[in-house]
Structures are given as structure tokens and as C-alpha cells.
């Protein structure tokens, strides 16, 4: 299963497959979501649907929402491990705000074998200097 980060959809629309010009790509994603090959964790999907762009509206649509949303809850122990080992064990609320939802995506990726996280992000500097 491929777990998509928000930026993969945002960049796909902006750079490669605009929703209005290449709807076949977006239909393909729904098809892959229905077959369980591609999913978007709820925390990541919520980042997208708070927007007011084409991708946000597309993911709010019942067909895309039902196909692509990952129907499971994050494992709190995996999430704590991702934050502690990948960022810092004692992040403040302000630092967690900077980190965003990425730890959720990683925790879902670690939750079962055969999962891959798909992202366009690059390594950033540490939260703390």
C-alpha cells in the first residue's frame, strides 16, 4: 500500500496532472484507492481538505473520500516513537505545530509491512537548533 502525503497531490495538480486538464489521473487514483493500493491517512487528508483549491474540493467529493481515506486509527505508541526518535522526545506544543502531520504519515507507514510513504518533501533542518 502506498500512503500519500498531502504534497504529492498538491504538486501533482500544480506541476504534472492538473485536475481540470488531466482528470484521468485523478480517476486512476480513485480506482487505486478502491483497490487498496493507494490511501491517504485521515490526518493528512484533513490537511488537504481545509484548503479551498481544486485538490481540496476533489478530495471532499464522496467518491474520492470513500476510495482514498485510510480507515484506521494511528497507533499511539508508534506515533510517540516517530516523534521521539525522528524529532525530539520532549517537543513543545509550538514545536509540534512546526512538525505538522508528518509523524502520523510515518507511523501509519510503520504500522504494517508492505507500506510505502510517498512524499515530495525534502529533508528539513531540525526543529531545534
At 85-113, the pLDDT tens digits run: 998 889 888 988 888 899 999 999 999 99
Query: Rounded to an integer, what distance in angstroms lies between the CA atom of residue 10 and that of residue 4?
Result: 11
For residue 117, report the phi and psi dihedrals to the nearest 5 degrees.
-90, 130
Query: Rounded to an integer, what distance in angstroms lies between the CA atom of residue 39 and that of residue 69?
Result: 6
Per-residue pLDDT of the chain (129 residues; tens, 9 = 90+): 999 999 999 999 999 999 999 999 999 999 999 999 999 999 999 999 999 999 999 999 999 999 999 999 999 999 999 999 998 889 888 988 888 899 999 999 999 999 999 998 876 555 544
Contacts by residues 18-25 (CB-CB < 8 Å, ≥ 24 positions apart): 18/54, 19/54, 19/55, 19/58, 20/54
Query: Rounded to an integer, what distance in angstroms lies between the CA atom of residue 25 and that of residue 18?
Result: 9
Amino acid at each position: 500500500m502506498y500512503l500519500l502525503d498531502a504534497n504529492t497531490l498538491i504538486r501533482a495538480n500544480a506541476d504534472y496532472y492538473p485536475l481540470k486538464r488531466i482528470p484521468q489521473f485523478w480517476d486512476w487514483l480513485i480506482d487505486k484507492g478502491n483497490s487498496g493500493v493507494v490511501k491517504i491517512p485521515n490526518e493528512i487528508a484533513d490537511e488537504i481538505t481545509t484548503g479551498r483549491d481544486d485538490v481540496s474540493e476533489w478530495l471532499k467529493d464522496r467518491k474520492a473520500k470513500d476510495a482514498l481515506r485510510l480507515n484506521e486509527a494511528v497507533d499511539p505508541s508508534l506515533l510517540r516513537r516517530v516523534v521521539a526518535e525522528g524529532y525530539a522526545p520532549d517537543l513543545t506544543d509550538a514545536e509540534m505545530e512546526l512538525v505538522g502531520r508528518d509523524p502520523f504519515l510515518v507511523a501509519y507507514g510503520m504500522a504494517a509491512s508492505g507500506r510505502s510513504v510517498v512524499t515530495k518533501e525534502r529533508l528539513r533542518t531540525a526543529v531545534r537548533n
